[in-house]
Amino acid sequence: MAQQLNSEEGTTLIPLQKAATEPRSSMISASFNFINSIIGSGIIGLPYALNQAGLPFGLLLLVIVGFITGGNMSGTNSYQSLVQSTFGFPGFLILSGLQFLYPFIAMISYNITTGDTLTKVFQRIPGVGPDHILAERHFVILLSTLAFTLPLSLYRNIEKLGKVSFLSMVLTLIILIIVIIRAATFGPQILPTENAWAFAKWNAIQAVAIMSFAFICHHNSFLIYGSLQQPTIANWSRVTHLSVGSALIVSAAFAVAGYTTFTGYTQGDIFENYCRNDNLATFGRFCFGLSIITTFPLECFVTREVVSNVIFSRDLSKAEHAAITLLIIAVCTSMSLAFDCLGVVLELNGVVSATPLIFIIPSACFLKLSTGRWFQTENLIPIILIIIGFFVMITGLIMTGLYPQDCSHGVEMFYCADANVSVTVPPV
């Protein structure tokens, strides 16, 4: 969290519990971390969100969610300080719980995605069949955790992840290019499903939950803000607009390209739709697996920081830092081994944690701090957002329970039997 010394634009805010000698991030590095925190496993489910909402309406919802996210984040230096000063200690506890819950479930989704994608990559290696240990998602999740995500998560300063986040952005752009290419080359081979181009569909509420999951960045704003070399409101506003705007463009392009390829057959994990002998898609899976591995530590930083602030209220010793990190990752990994349906995880995290963080809490703070009557003109939008937030939460939970996503669980899609989709992997 941050302690405000002066509310005027351009003033510096000192992050609490952070030593002044710690390395600081440039605005570019902070933007890389921010974009990387937004474009995680959530982007892989955005084509499915358009399948739920309808292409035109889903795209409109995506822009609205991105606009609300950017608007909420750019006007405040510390989401945590705002909530605590507005609603006191109870508000701080509620926010801390949501800030822990969202990245924790996100890490579970990252592991599920890693298991789904990299097992298919390994099966393209000669001699690695469906029964090989490298084709076992549980082994792949454990391997990636021990070899990559755990060591990266043990860093004590988020500034050190700037270069890793830049690598993740490059990988994401490569994936986007691959999805666009396959939309043009593979999409015409798959006949559109009924009502594929309908303006809107009844499951739009579930789509909002997935989009909220994809765009949530409120939970780690205090870490990224505190890492800036010059933590001012003006610099933070620039970082927020650049990050959310870039993420929105990439997300919209990815969602449209993915959905138009498979229409009603679109899975919660878009790479589940591509055929196993599709070498270009396999290269995309490899890039996405690496991208997810590099995003995982950002979420672990947040969960650990929340535990540190709520329970310890001080800087952690090296032993405490390592112990809490190991505990968080152990529990997260255990849960990700038990679940393998990404769409349901994205929807639940969207309705339970992302929706309150994006729609309800910022609007409630605005209304609480408003000096006029609630129903005056300037308060109408926050009131509408609160109503929408609770509607999405309640309806989303009901819809997810009544109409859960039918996961393919690694089963080859029917259209792959006759499709000639083998493509040579381009040199990199």
Report pLDDT for 22. 54
Report pLDDT for 331. 94
Report pLDDT for 6. 36
Q: What is the model's pTM?
A: 0.77
Report pLDDT for 409. 55
Report pLDDT for 58. 92
Report pLDDT for 402. 73
pLDDT digit string (tens) for the chain, length 428 residues: 333 333 333 333 333 444 444 556 677 777 777 777 777 667 888 999 999 999 999 999 999 888 877 665 655 556 677 788 888 888 888 988 888 888 898 898 889 888 888 988 998 898 888 889 998 989 999 999 999 999 989 988 777 777 787 888 889 899 999 999 999 999 999 999 988 999 988 888 878 878 877 777 665 666 677 677 777 777 877 888 888 888 899 999 999 999 999 999 998 888 889 988 899 999 999 998 898 888 888 889 889 988 888 888 777 888 999 999 999 999 999 988 887 776 677 677 778 887 888 888 888 888 888 776 666 777 888 888 899 889 888 888 887 777 666 565 567 788 887 655 444 333 33
Report pLDDT for 40. 66
Report pLDDT for 183. 95
Report pLDDT for 60. 93
Report pLDDT for 333. 93
Report pLDDT for 1. 36
Report pLDDT for 9. 36
Report pLDDT for 199. 92
Report pLDDT for 20. 43
Report pLDDT for 281. 92
Domains of the chain: 26-411 (1.20.1740.10)
One-letter-per-residue 3-state SS of the chain = CEECCCCCCCCECEECCCCCCCCCECHHHHHHHHHHHHCCHHHHHHHHHHHHHCHHHHHHHHHHHHHHHHHHHHCCCCHHHHHHHHHHHHHHHHHHHHHHHHHHHHHHHHHHHHHHHHHHHHCCCCCCCCCCHHHCHHHHHHHHHHHHHHHHHCCCCHHHHHHHHHHHHHHHHHHHHHHHHHHHHCHHHCCCCCCCCCCCCCCHHHHHHHHHHHHCCHHHHHHHHHCECCCEHHHHHHHHHHHHHHHHHHHHHHHHHHHHHHHHHCCCCHHHCCCCCCHHHHHHHHHHHHHHHHHHHHHHHHHHHHHHHHHHCCCCCHHHHHHHHHHHHHHHHHHHHHCCCHHHHHHHHHHHHHHHHHHHHHHHHHHHHCCCCCCCHHHHHHHHHHHHHHHHHHHHHHHHHHCCCCCCCCCCCHHHCCCCCCCCCCCC
